[in-house]
Amino acid sequence: MQDSVQTNRRRQERIQAVLPVRVRGIDTAGVSFEELAHTLDLTPTGVRLGAIRREVKALETLTIFYHQRRMDFRVVWTKRMEGTKEYQVGLKAFSQEKEAWGLSLFNSSARPVETSAGASATA
């Protein structure tokens, strides 16, 4: 029973998308930074980033630049990747924009990431 609760706790579909982004914010030492990173997956109101080389804390604001777009997010969680000096960071948008990434990712033709433990691996 507990497994089914954990696998169904997501409120929105996630779309796998590796997009190059520029990230601006303030790290845990209070130093402002701007660096290149990439997305790992997207939802209509959030994003998971990879290749973040600065430690950031929850509730901080990060600004993401993608092409000509600028989006502000709140840090929800961070995770240091084992064996590296990089972090993954979960972010939630301050406002929900239709097509914030400009990619029409959340139409019916896009396929969500499977989160169910019982998902079939057949093609």
pLDDT-derived band at 57 (thresholds 50, 70, 90) equals very high
Q: How confident is the model at residue 120 (pLDDT cuts 50, 70, 90)?
A: very low
DSSP state of 92: E
Q: Cα separations (Å) of 68 from 36, 45, 57, 74?
A: 15, 19, 26, 20
Please determine, for residue 86, whether its predicted confidence score (pLDDT) is greater than 70.
Answer: yes
pLDDT at 30: 97
Q: Is the pLDDT of residue 84 over 80?
A: yes
Whose tokens are 């929800």? That residue is 76
In this model, does residue 13 exceed pLDDT 70? yes
Residue pair 15/40 in contact by the 8 Å Cβ criterion: no
pLDDT classification of 11: cutoffs 50, 70, 90? low
Q: What mean pLDDT is reported for the chain?
A: 83
Q: Which fold has domain 13-93?
A: Thrombin, subunit H (2.40.10)
Q: Is 2 helix (H, G, I), strand (E, B) or coil?
A: helix
Residue that the structure tokens 């972090």 belong to:
87
Confidence band, pLDDT 50/70/90 cuts, at residue 21:
very high
What is the chain's alpha carbon radius of gyration, rounded to the nearest angstrom? 15
Residues in a beta bridge with 90: 48, 77
The residue among 39 and 106 whose pLDDT is bigger is: 39
pLDDT-derived band at 1 (thresholds 50, 70, 90) equals very low
